[in-house]
């Protein structure tokens, strides 16, 4: 199985799940008139987990030692929140989610309009393969809804691909799922042999909705020193 260096979620991923009780603030601003809270971490910070983990891996730093979700407004939650916003690549990233959520699973208009299956198989899987082969982790946006209601996009999810393999026409991506900390056996798998038709995707990603398709998200490095553990004795990036 080709992988990005020695990356494994149980070692290089954050060691707590992407879950906070409702009402937990993402950010806390301190003002002369009192604290101001923003956001609700209960909605999830999955993209922040993926980007922060990639930052740490590229910097050759261990993840922070936390094994339970830190308090809202803490430096770590603040960092995850800002990296979540970065993962959305506003506005283009949000528009990509919305476009995919409004695209049928299969090709339509006599094949002139590609469906989510073909978009995933022909456009995105090669990018994952190239990224892993080049030693680069890649965050995947998982599209789980078929709807023109923007509010439904909150049911989508983000994971971090670090490896892949092929079994004939079946492609499997090995991913770090922020909802399953330390999980080395998380995967997404599909048969790529018929991209024009609806293609079921099997996975054990810890989400409530089935995955319709996925795409590679644009990433740029951010210095994680504010939240990082110590350097690895032998740098983990290859």
pLDDT tens column, 72-120? 989 999 999 999 999 999 899 999 999 999 999 999 988 889 999 999 9
pLDDT computed for residue 127 by the predictor: 98
Sign of CA dihedral 164, 165, 171, 175: negative
pLDDT computed for residue 16 by the predictor: 97
- Average pLDDT, whole number, for the chain? 93
Give the DSSP H or E segment for 189. Answer: strand 187-191
Q: Report in angstroms the alpha-carbon separations of 111 from 6, 36, 207, 214.
A: 41, 51, 31, 20
Asked if the model's pLDDT at residue 234 lies above 80, the reply is no
This prediction has a pTM of 0.93
Q: For 31-35, 148-152, 230-234, which range has the lowest pLDDT when averaged over its residues? A: 31-35
Distance CA 68, CA 132 (A): 30
pLDDT computed for residue 39 by the predictor: 74
């Amino acid at each position: 199985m080709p992988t990005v260096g020695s990356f494994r979620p149980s070692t290089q991923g954050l060691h707590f799940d992407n879950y906070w009780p409702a009402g937990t603030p993402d950010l806390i601003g301190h003002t002369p008139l009192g604290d101001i809270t923003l956001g609700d971490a209960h909605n999830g910070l999955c993209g922040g987990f993926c980007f922060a983990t990639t930052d740490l891996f590229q910097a050759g730093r261990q993840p922070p030692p936390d094994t339970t979700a830190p308090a809202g407004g803490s430096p770590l939650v603040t960092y995850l929140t800002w990296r979540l916003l970065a993962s959305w690549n506003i506005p283009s990233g949000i528009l990509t989610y919305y476009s995919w959520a409004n695209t049928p699973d299969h090709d339509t208009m006599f094949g002139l309009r590609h469906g989510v299956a073909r978009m995933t198989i022909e456009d995105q899987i090669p990018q994952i393969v190239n990224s892993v082969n080049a030693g680069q982790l890649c965050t995947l946006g998982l599209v789980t809804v078929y709807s023109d209601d923007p509010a439904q996009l909150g049911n989508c999810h983000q994971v971090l691909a670090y490896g892949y393999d092929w079994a004939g026409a079946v492609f499997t991506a090995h991913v770090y799922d922020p909802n399953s900390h330390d999980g080395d056996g998380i995967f997404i798998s599909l048969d790529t042999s018929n991209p024009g038709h609806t293609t079921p995707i099997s996975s054990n990603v810890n989400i409530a909705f089935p995955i319709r398709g996925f795409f590679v998200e644009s990433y740029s490095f951010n210095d994680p020193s504010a939240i990082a553990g110590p350097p690895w004795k032998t740098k983990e990036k290859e």
